[in-house]
Structure 1
Amino acid sequence: MRARETQVEPSGMGRLLPWTTDEGRPCYLTSGSEGGIISKRADAMEAEQIHCGREVLTQSRGLLEGSRLGKVELRFVASRLVECLADTLRVAESRGIRLGVEDPRPDYDMEELADSEAEA
């Protein structure tokens, strides 16, 4: 997959892909590569992320409504919801870029928060 991926500054962005580099930086697909295999793989991954988010939301609602949860269970539910929300926001950002939303910048504060929580 790395062959056609590029890392560029937001001013010359291509399509924001739903994965990152090994260092955690965003990956972009050059605009001339739309419709190719990487683009289709990104489409499929985004669809799966949204589907997963819906499933986690449904299951979480059931857990929160149905019984008293302990700290461990609540932490698990919260961490899964956070993962799905991050994925969904990335899909929304990618689609916003492709629709021409002006000045689409990732929320670096949120990325730093996620990194600090992962370390904890």
Structure 2
Amino acid sequence: MTAYTALRLLPWLSAEGKPCFLAPGDGGGIVSRLADETEARQLADGLDVLRSARRVLDDPVSPNAEVRYTAIRLTECLADVLRVAESRGRRLPQPGDDEGARS
């Protein structure tokens, strides 16, 4: 067992707009599963928005309102993906955490 016990950054904010964290466990709890499902949905939504954005931006006569809406959605998805990346990065074992590892 490793000594790595960082809190998990959850893929949503509190009602006050602050980050939410989950104490480490076995990963099988309800909140952990909900966070996993939310992250998967956020990543899938990001891919869908990216595909739509490419179509809008490839059309040189796309209306300004459509381009603006696309930029807003891309910004939302980028924020979600960066949060997922930060959360997953925090949970990666750090060098030296595994005392049994050999170089």
Q: TM-score, normalised by structure 2?
A: 0.80
Which is higher, the Rg of structure 1 or of structure 2? 2
CA–CA distance in 2 between the matches of 1:65 and 1:92? 28
1:44 partner letter: E
Structure 1 stretches of 4+ with a deviation exceeding 4 A read none
Matched, 1:46 2:39: yes
* Counterpart for residue 20 of structure 1: 13
On the 8 A contact 1:13/1:28 being kept in 2, the answer is no
Q: CA RMSD in A?
A: 1.8
- Give ranges in structure 1 of 5+ residues lacking alignment: 1-11, 103-120
User: Could you say which structure has the higher helix fraction?
Assistant: 1
Matched, 1:65 2:65: no
* Counterpart for residue 101 of structure 2: none
- Give ranges in structure 2 of 5+ residues lacking alignment: 96-103
CA shift digits 1:15-68 (9 cap, x unpaired): 000011101100000013632011001000000000000000001101111341
1:83 to 1:34, Cα distance in 2 relative to 1, 3 A: same
Matched, 1:91 2:84: yes
